[in-house]
Amino acid sequence: MITSIRSLATERARRREARIRQLEQERDSRESAIFQRIPRLAEIKALQSEVGLDLARLMLRVPTRFNKSFEELQAWSLELSAERRALLERHRINPDELDVRWDCPICKNTGWLQPEVAGPDTVHPAKKCQCLIQEEIDDLYRAAGIAGHMREQTFGRFDLTVYPSEDRDYMAKVVEYGKGYASRVAKGTQEESLLLTGDVGRGKTFLSTAIGNVAVEAHRTVVYFTFSEFLDLLRLHKFEDEEKYREGLQRLLDADLIILDDLGAEKVTEFVAQELFNIINHRMNRSMPMIVSTNLTPQELADAYGPRIASRLLNGFEVLLLRGDDIRWILRRRRAHQ
């Protein structure tokens, strides 16, 4: 379904904070169970924290609690650590029990690696942890409406052997073209939209999803939607959930790549045709790529969606024909508005 992408980062931060709180609470409850069994451990913890404070107080030259020298405090701290270790060992408690069990020990679930001081004048700024980078990609997939099994539809898995041997050279060209298209979308240089036509089962969805997956992995915003999901969106407008409708529509206008899968043969209303035309026009005017797949012939496209849409798709888009019987490689490059 078409959901808002704007709030993804906020949601992510909220999710991480909640998870951090949860993991800390889990640690706290493990800890209080252990402290109940071995009260001395709780005393050690409190003392260690006081000793740490006194060390800081000494450095700041403010009154201390224990009236000990720096060396005495350090020695005491070591003694307390040794006593703690011995107690844990005697009770066969893994010291990890008292630590937070981070999902990502590298960034402690924050998603960020601390700034690194590399020299007197060089501080490397905080960097994203790999776990955050992956989470962003996962969010983009979810926001794109690319479901789990579709993430596996990659160019690497495009299996040419499923095609009849006489079609394989042709399909190899299609895949090569798709790869080029995908890498241009990933780089943000692809301006023309793409119409994938051809019979059912020729790999149109696979090809468009593979392109979408490359784009998402490159951190591009992608929206994958079927024609029936588009109709669902328009229905929101009819039933006056105006805000949700506008939000969904805005995503179709703004995403780096949108993929409209399976433009069907049912004749559409004037309103639907107008909305579809507006989206196509908006994307073409701004040189923002859109992929449309359909098994309709040019005539059927015109019959179902009207001559204006058919003309935009057939003349304004690059057209890739995946025909079953009569396989031809037809690729037309036309600029918008020609």
Which residues of the chain form contacts with Zn ion (CB under 5 A)?
A: 104, 106-107, 129, 131
Toward Zn ion, which CB reaches closer, 106 or 147? 106
Nearest distance in Å: CB 8, Zn ion? 18
Shortest Å distance, C-beta 103 to Zn ion: 8
- Report, in Å, the least distance between residue 109 CB and Zn ion: 7
In degrees, rounded to 5, the angle at the alpha carbon of residue 303 between the alpha carbons of residues 336 and 208 is 50
The distance of closest approach from Cβ of residue 332 to Zn ion in the complex, given in angstroms and rounded to an integer, is 47
Dist CA 291 CA 81 (whole Å): 63
Which CB, 129 or 292, lies closer to Zn ion? Answer: 129
The CA–CA distances, whole Å, from 124 to 68, 108, 131 equal 38, 19, 19
Tokens of 237: 């407008």
Q: Which of 20/58 has CB closer to Zn ion?
A: 20
Please identify, using beta-carbon distances, which residue of 20 and 218 lies nearer to Zn ion.
20
**Distance, CA of 9 to CA of 12 (rounded, Å):** 5
Tell me the C-alpha distance between 68 and 54, whole Å: 9
Distance CA 100, CA 26 (A): 8
Q: How far is the CB of 138 from Zn ion (least distance, A)?
A: 13
Nearer to Zn ion, 131 or 272 (CB): 131
Q: Specify the residue, 136 or 217, whose C-beta has the smaller distance to Zn ion.
A: 136
Q: Specify burial of residue 115 (Cβ count, 10 A radius: 0-12, 13-18, 19+).
A: exposed
CB-nearer residue toward Zn ion: 16 or 312? 16
For 30-153, list the strands marked E by DSSP: 112-113, 116-117, 123-124, 127-128
Of the candidates 80, 74, 100, 94, the one whose C-alpha atom is nearest the C-alpha of residue 40 is 80
* DSSP 8-state secondary structure symbol assigned to residue 265: S
Spatial distance between the Cα atoms of 36 and 159, rounded to a whole number of angstroms: 61
Q: How far apart are CA 223 and CA 114, in angstroms?
A: 33
- Smaller CB distance to Zn ion: residue 131 or 279? 131
CB of 23 to Zn ion, least distance (A): 13
DSSP-derived secondary structure letter, 191: -
Which letter does DSSP use for residue 168 in this model? Answer: H
| Least separation in angstroms between CB 112 and Zn ion | 8
| Shortest spacing between CB 19 and Zn ion, in angstroms | 12
Tokens of 185: 């979308």
Contact present, 151 and 141 (Cβ < 8 Å): yes
- Closest separation in Å from C-beta 92 to Zn ion: 31
Looking at residue 165, what DSSP letter applies? Answer: G
Q: For Zn ion, give the closer residue by CB, 50 or 136.
A: 136
